[in-house]
Amino acid sequence: MKTNLLTTIQSQAETAGYKFMYGDGRYFENEIRQVDLTDGSIGLMLNITAVAATMERDMWNGELVYDVQMFMFRKFEMTTISSVSETLQQKFTNRMDELQTELLTFVSTLTQCNNDIDLINPRYTPGYNVTATNCDGWFIECQLRLSNQYPA
């Protein structure tokens, strides 16, 4: 059964209560400004940068491999706000540790609940004071392999 990667990730993000956005770096700032994060919500930005069809013996084997970037971030908590005046240690204590756990759980759930999706080569990096809104969070760059993608 064909899986729509974008709607699968969006649905899981919204079920988890995240503010979901789709776009690339050129539109990142604009997307974040359109979402209300003042209630302490977690944002999840998705960018699908490429897709490749896997071939075996000159024939498509039904697999698609997507190059994916995600950014899970937060601006506010109940008692703190992300700002350039925080030290990196304060940022980690205030939100980065929790967000790292959230992102790892999100990705794990994505692959465990969707048998057709496999995570390949994940690379997690912190993002401090990202954009003019000074959001803090975690980036993941990875590949997601979707099997059984033959047309119906």
What mean pLDDT value characterizes the chain?
86
Would the pLDDT of 152 be above 60?
no
pLDDT tens digits for range 4-43: 899 999 999 999 999 999 987 777 778 888 888 888 889 9
β-pairing verdict for 117-130 and 19-22 = unpaired
Segment 104-136, tens digit of pLDDT: 999 999 998 877 899 999 999 998 888 777 788
Counting Cα atoms < 13 Å in the Cβ hemisphere of 57 gives 1
Instruction: Please indicate whether residue 125 or residue 1 has the higher confidence score (pLDDT).
Output: 125
pLDDT of residue 113: 80
